[in-house]
Amino acid sequence: MRHLTINLMIALMVNSLAVGQPRKPAATTRATPESPYAGEERRHIKALSAEDIKAYENGEGMGFAKAAELNHYPGPKHVLNAAVELGLTADQKEQTQKIYRAMHEKAIRAGRTIVQDEGKLDDLFSSGSINPKALDSLTAAIATSEGRLRAIHLGAHLAERGVLSPRQIRRYDELRGYGEAGAHHHHDRMHHH
């Protein structure tokens, strides 16, 4: 009898807890969940946000040079922004400006080409006139332009490293927040090559 009373009390407690819980909403009639792309169908170029287009057209880095930046190859734009903190000489500043200008001009051209080709691809899909040959041609052109753009940004970081001293590179890493361990790792690697 005692067992029955305890089981009944537990059942009543569980039931009373369940009564206070909100009910699950009725199942939706939607066959598939909403796409994370919802709303993007209104974009001028579906594959690119307005921010992407602006970044491409302005020759911005967009993370293309992370392999360099995060491995102690400073970017010329950021070096110029930190010229005082890095103690750049007049010659270093002039060299960095040259590297940045050359990179920026090339990046703008490559970025604009990407936007144009993405626009063409979008137009072909939206008009229904896409075909395998055009698809292959445009996607290959876009990939080539993206590779070129990445190489432009990485190349600027490579050139910039030759302008700065090891001390300035360590300071750059510190200013960018890359941490003390990374700066020491870079210093050690420079002396072992």
Contact, 160 vs 75, CB < 8 A? Answer: yes
Cα–Cα nearest to 163, from 75, 35, 55, 59: 75
- pLDDT-above-90 percentage for the chain: 68
Q: How confident is the model at residue 34 (pLDDT cuts 50, 70, 90)?
A: confident
pLDDT of residue 38: 78
Work out the average pLDDT over 11-18: 48
Q: Would you list the DSSP string of 158-180? A: HHHHTTS-HHHHHHHHHHTT--H
- Can you list the positions of beta strands (E) in the chain? none
Contact, 65 vs 104, CB < 8 A? Answer: no
pLDDT tens for each residue of 45-92: 888 999 999 999 999 999 999 999 999 999 999 999 999 999 999 999
Q: Which helix (H) or strand (E) holds 16?
A: helix 2-19
Q: Residue 30 — φ and ψ, nearest 5°?
A: -65, 130
Q: Is the overall model pTM greater than 0.85, yes or no?
A: no
Domain boundaries, the chain: 45-164
Instruction: Give dist(CA 37, CA 65) in Å, integer.
Output: 27
Contact, 115 vs 56, CB < 8 A? Answer: yes
Contact, 169 vs 74, CB < 8 A? Answer: yes
Cα 23–25–30 angle (5° rounding)? 165
pLDDT tens for each residue of 79-127: 999 999 999 999 999 999 999 999 999 999 999 999 999 999 999 999 9
pLDDT at 13 over 80: no
Instruction: Give dist(CA 121, CA 146) in Å, integer.
Output: 15
Q: What is the average pLDDT score of the chain?
A: 84
Tokens of 101: 């200008």
Cα 131–135–139 angle (5° rounding)? 175
Tokens of 59: 């020759």
Instruction: Give dist(CA 116, CA 124) in Å, integer.
Output: 12
Coil vs helix vs strand at 106: helix
Contact, 73 vs 103, CB < 8 A? Answer: no
